[in-house]
Structure 1
Amino acid sequence: MPRLTKDEWAEARALREGAGLPFSEIAERMGVDRAAVSRRAKKEQWDDGQNVAVAIQKKVTEKLTRIVTPSDPVKKAEAIDAEAARRAGVIDKHRDELEAARVMARAAKENHQNVGDQIPADIHDPMERAQALLSMKRGAFEDLKAAKIHVETLKLIQEGERKAWGLDMPVDLSALTDEQLAALASGRMPV
């Protein structure tokens, strides 16, 4: 029997995952032994075609990460490391942005709290002092509002990025082991 090329194996996989054909029919169409198709499917973890949503999500992930799930364990580990590094970069960026927002909010809060200390000493008229204080309080309040708006906007942006990058994907509880469920129940992410 002839050996299939990489493209022919991709076609065979598409027949299994897309059309849900049995191994025997795929083997007959491709002109290879059924056992060869079965071994390849097991090695590459082909889906049986029954769960189309999983197959679609897998393809979307491959397209977004530009990494086709390799059958070679070393290449697979490298692909996982590369994608993990990209996602870790997003998380690092979020941490940096949050720290900058925290500094901005803290400075606005301190400015608002200490605004009375900033009235020039050469203003002695109580009415002038009150007007200066009111003006400074308004400015400090505007700084607080700007910090609040910045933090809220940043939160919305980061939530969107986390969704887009799949950083907060829900965990499929039915696929977890007892140890993973125990870890989840204790507040840790399952590994």
Structure 2
Amino acid sequence: MQDLTPDLLLSAYAQGVFPMSESRDDPDIFWVDPTMRGMLPLDGFRISRSLAKTMRREDFTVSFDTDFAAVVQGCADRDETWINDTIFDLYCTLHRRGDAHSVEVWRDGLLVGGAYGVTVGAAFFGESMFSRATDASKVALAYLVDRLRMGGFQLCDTQFITDHLASLGAVEVPRETYHAYLNAAISRPASFVAPGGVPTAQDVIQRNAQTS
């Protein structure tokens, strides 16, 4: 593989491929273009009654782009991870350039969950998420989807699909279908920076109910 740069990484995303490493300690990186692709329809995210109850309790505090590096570290903090040092540094560079973003979930001043991804046009490429407290990653996704909707995004790519993502509304589509959605989204404008700051839990829940 040629030297991986931030611009090459963005170009790859725009073509539907993304990088991975076999492990944290493996310096090699390879490109992935799955035959079946995970997507989270922005009008199909499901906030269950139990999740809504959790959000209304306000045990968690949510922020955006406050501690991007810590979110990536949280996602890599597991026995097996595809996030090696090269990938970590590249995404932090993309974040400094405004091309990668994070949502953080806090409780009692501690980071207990979050998610991050890359933006190209009106496409958001979700990279990873983590949770150190019950429902923290679900709360992160609820706020993330709300931010994407409000910012005019058309596509939320999850790369692969898991039972956890499927329970929240994610679907799996063939590569050709994904590329059609991708090509339409990357040519449209969108903004991850929303006016008015972080919405209340009730606002997120109500807007989700209106679009689901």
| TM-score bucket (shorter structure) | under 0.3
Q: Which has the higher contact order (CA 8 A, sep 6+)?
A: 2
Say which structure is richer in strand.
2
Say which structure is richer in helix.
1
Normalising by structure 1, report the TM-score: 0.23
